């Protein structure tokens, strides 16, 4: 079955058709810059533009940077506050003319990695976190997802963790890999104390450079980079729409 997977991010919106049996993209992905302020209608129009670029008229799965309950965005961290309380399912379905299914973006990436990537066959408790504009988290126990976790908002020295450890912060503050690893280590130690996980998976664009900071960490839990890299959100969103 093919499903169009869309990954809505703070800086870009990406999409491609996905073969949900293999986890492979069946066409080259399309990326469009996220509209300024990331308000609902302009974002929906970009998603519709991506769908049109593939002449798409089937189901669409959309990974979105917010907790999603019954299709409704419950908060907004890296997008417009106008999303809060918006039935995103309905908005995207109306704008694209296709049946759309929403899922938290980190949950989408986690689903993809657990089925096709670094988490495949992993027992116990697995935590995936995505480092990008913010920090997304997805927690699995024996392969089952606990949806809508938001541990990017853990307190770190008086601020949300994602305001200290995200890849956007690393770039903005021009942190060395050593300094970035020190901050990341502090964050992961907190996660260990809360969950005692069996495996961490690090995703997002920064996972491509994992050799620069993972060896500098001093934590108990094994930690490995995501295998699907920037495709994980697209693939996981498609899986969510498949059901």
The pLDDT value given to residue 90 = 95
Q: At what angle do helices 40-53 and 88-96 cross, to 10 degrees?
A: 40
The DSSP annotation for 26-51 comes to SS--EEEEPPGGG-HHHHHHHHHHHH
Domain 2-107+231-242 in CATH 3.30.420.40? The answer is yes
For residue range 82-139, list pLDDT tens digits in order: 999 999 999 999 999 999 999 999 999 999 999 999 999 998 999 999 998 889 999 9
- Residue 184 makes CB contacts below 8 A (sequence gap 6+) with 165, 213, 217
| CATH tag for 122-226 (out of 3.20.20.450, 3.40.50.1000, 3.40.50.2300, 3.30.420.40) | 3.30.420.40
The pLDDT value given to residue 78 = 77
The pLDDT value given to residue 10 = 81
The pLDDT value given to residue 76 = 81
Answer with the residue of higher pLDDT: 176 or 208.
176
The residue-averaged pLDDT of 198-214 equals 93
pLDDT band at 218 (very low <50, low <70, confident <90, very high): very high
CATH 3.30.420.40 domain range(s) in the chain: 2-107+231-242, 122-226
Beta-bridge partner residues of 131: 135
Q: How much is the mean pLDDT over the chain?
A: 95
């Amino acid at each position: 079955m093919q499903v169009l997977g869309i990954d809505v991010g703070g800086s870009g919106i990406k999409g491609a058709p996905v073969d949900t049996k293999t986890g492979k993209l069946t066409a080259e992905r399309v990326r469009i810059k996220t509209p300024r302020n990331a308000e609902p209608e302009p974002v929906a129009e970009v998603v519709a533009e991506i769908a049109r670029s593939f002449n798409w008229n089937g189901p669409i799965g959309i990974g979105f940077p917010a907790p999603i309950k019954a299709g409704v965005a419950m908060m907004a961290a890296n997008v417009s506050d106008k999303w809060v309380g918006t039935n995103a399912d309905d908005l995207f379905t109306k704008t694209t003319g296709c049946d759309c299914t929403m899922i938290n973006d980190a949950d989408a990436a986690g689903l993809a990695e657990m089925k096709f990537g670094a988490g495949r066959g992993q027992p116990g408790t697995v935590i995936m976190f995505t480092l990008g504009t913010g920090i997304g988290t997805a927690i699995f126990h024996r392969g089952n997802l606990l949806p809508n976790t938001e541990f990017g908002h853990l307190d770190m020295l008086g601020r949300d963790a994602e305001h200290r450890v995200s890849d956007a912060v690393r770039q903005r503050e021009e942190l060395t890999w050593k300094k970035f690893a020190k901050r990341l280590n502090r964050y992961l130690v907190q996660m260990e104390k809360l969950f005692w996980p069996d495996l961490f998976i690090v995703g997002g664009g920064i996972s491509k450079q994992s050799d620069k900071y993972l060896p500098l960490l001093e934590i108990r839990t094994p930690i490995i980079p995501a295998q699907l890299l920037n495709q994980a959100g697209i693939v996981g969103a498609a899986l969510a729409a498949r059901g």
